[in-house]
A and B are shown apart, each in its own frame.
Chain A
């Protein structure tokens, strides 16, 4: 095998890993602090009792607690253990990487110089579309998860690492009236720091392993640089395929949600709806995220989330295509023909 191909593969792999690593570390640290400091049920008590309202709040949490998609899995696992309802966690996990001020800002910057044939600047519309569709998909998916959780035992949906001591609980027993954890005696700070470090390191190890595996797979898919160009070309010549193809691209590229807007903006010939599908789907589901999810969720729940996200992104993007599909960038001053 060509040494250059191997080197390019290594660079792709290392770039994804080292970019994500600081956020996983900080996410693990936050998770450790949450585990130690946050009283059980504290978050659940802050949320509205009505499920839908709670889901909407969970979906909007990303605006207050911005996290990238790598770090959010670690934090979300601890929030689950601390009593935050599963549906809220799923809403935060899916919407958080999109409803993130930095991500929305980068989306604006990526598209602000782009205009439609009618002269409409795409900066703010793309931000609104990405945030709106992302929030919608996340909340609907979370509601489906809520319905599933009402019919399932916790251990059917969650791995032991996310479940804590709830393995024996039944859906009926899981209500607001569950006995709160007993009040802890006031402890010295050093043992607490030790426990925080232990939790943080465990989470770091747990998640980073799957980050590396996911990055290795993603780098393998990207070994041929013409893959992206071929997908782009195919989606231009076959517009019907544009949305699912861009979703597939978002799945395999494993880009962070702050950078994917610039790549989407570079797909000059593609429809707005296909780009939005790419920008919404990628932060919710890609190869490395899928592997990280396996550390938190059981197959049943993962399958539910995947199915909902795919169907919802397809549906909403297709609907967008018929509602808002401005023409390609305007024809220019000079029109040339190539040899």
Chain B
């Protein structure tokens, strides 16, 4: 059995600090403490940034949403907050230890002071009582701390600039929807008399199997979504869609349905005005948008079946 890493005798009694590189003298106490302070500083800044991401809020469609809400599903927010608090606690502990160490070093330096030229009788082998945990370079490398701090500061700088302040742009959403073609003749569907308010996830999932499509065809569906008119003859169709995040904005997909109005004038208010949030009520059926792929189609009730809820 490979045992590439066995026997790591660190922190034993009376260990010698001459690890093969005399780091303490090579870069000096000032350099050492500066790097440590930068480590503490940037870690603490990240902790504060995480808490601010959780607490700072933007207004979206009249509702308050935290900065994290633009990026992550709500289930992840407590994790970010908890992680940020843990990071701050660790930073505080490290900062305090650094402060104590600085005081000890100054005291040692003052006690060690001797006139120039006088032989130094100080024994530089330290015992287990001195806190030299951070002198063990084998478990970390702080030689390039400066460029790391710059990289780590990047998300913090973005927060200071007010980012994120919303979701993806409309241009990106439209690109994610892709080209939408007008569907051909949709057969008339009789209402079953059953009514159901769908969340978009459920609505989209009903299109996946023939059994569910047969079950829900004819239902009166009520669903909220963003409206994107489809250019084409007649002007009676539109894409109804929503953004679905599973964990974060990066894994976002678009859930789509198709809406059909009887009178093109019902869509006049939505032409060339950007994405609008609407509530659609109508009779549900399904259509094959591409081979093997079905999407829900809602025949919008001509009497108030399309209600504007606000701008995205």
A 127-156 to B, binary, CB cutoff 8 A, 1 in contact else 0:
000000000000000000110011010100
Give Cα distance in the complex from A171 to B249, angstroms.
46
Q: Are A22 and B249 in contact (CB under 8 A)?
A: no
Q: How far is the CB of A216 from chain B (nearest CB, A)?
A: 8
List which B43-96 residues lie within 8 A (CB) of chain A.
43, 46, 50, 53, 68, 70-72, 76, 79-80, 82-84, 86-87, 90-91, 93-94
Q: Are A40 and B7 in contact (CB under 8 A)?
A: yes
Q: Are B286 and A334 in contact (CB under 8 A)?
A: yes
Question: Which DSSP category, helix, strand, loop or mixed, fits chain A's interface?
Answer: helix
Q: Are A51 and B292 in contact (CB under 8 A)?
A: no
Instruction: Known A7-B169, A21-B83, A201-B43; judge A83-B5 contact (CB<8 A).
Output: yes
A 252-268 to B, binary, CB cutoff 8 A, 1 in contact else 0:
01111011101100101
Q: Are B2 and A209 in contact (CB under 8 A)?
A: no
Interface centre among A164, A169, A179, A195 (most CB of B within 10 A): A164
For B182, list chain A residues within 8 Å (CB).
338-339
Q: Are A15 and B248 in contact (CB under 8 A)?
A: yes
Contact pick for B246, options A44, A226, A258, CB 8 Å: A258
Instruction: Known A11-B71, A269-B293; judge A115-B209 contact (CB<8 A).
Output: yes
Choose, from A302-310, A311-319, A325-333, the stretch at the interface. A325-333
Q: Which residue of A lies closest to B173 (CB)?
A: A225
Q: Are A178 and B7 in contact (CB under 8 A)?
A: yes
A-B contact count (CB 8 A): 333
B109 at the interface (CB under 8 A from A): no
Give Cα distance in the complex from A256 to B163, angstroms.
22
Choose, from B117-125, B127-135, B192-200, B267-275, the stretch at the interface. B127-135
Count A-side interface residues using an 8 Å CB cutoff.
119
For B10, list chain A residues within 8 Å (CB).
164-165, 181
Q: Are A11 and B8 in contact (CB under 8 A)?
A: no
Contact pick for B210, options A21, A219, A263, A333, CB 8 Å: A333
Contact pick for A200, options B71, B76, B90, CB 8 Å: B90
A194 at the interface (CB under 8 A from B): yes
Give Cα distance in the complex from A78 to B152, angstroms.
22
Chosen A-B contacts, 23 in total, with CB atoms closer than 8 Å, are: A5-B171, A7-B166, A8-B169, A10-B158, A11-B168, A14-B163, A22-B79, A23-B83, A40-B9, A83-B7, A114-B208, A154-B5, A164-B138, A176-B1, A178-B7, A181-B12, A199-B133, A204-B87, A208-B46, A262-B246, A262-B251, A334-B187, A336-B185
Interface on A for B, CB 8 Å cutoff? 2, 4-5, 7-8, 10-19, 21-23, 25-26, 29, 35, 40-41, 44, 49-51, 54, 80-87, 106, 113-115, 145-146, 149-150, 152, 154, 157-158, 160-167, 169, 171, 174-176, 178-182, 184-185, 191, 193-195, 197-206, 208-209, 212-213, 216, 218-219, 222, 224-226, 229, 253-256, 258-260, 262-263, 266, 268-269, 328-339
Known pairs A40-B6, A51-B2, A202-B39 / 11 extra A-B pairs, C-beta < 8 Å: A2-B171, A4-B171, A18-B68, A146-B1, A205-B152, A206-B141, A255-B250, A258-B246, A258-B247, A334-B287, A336-B288
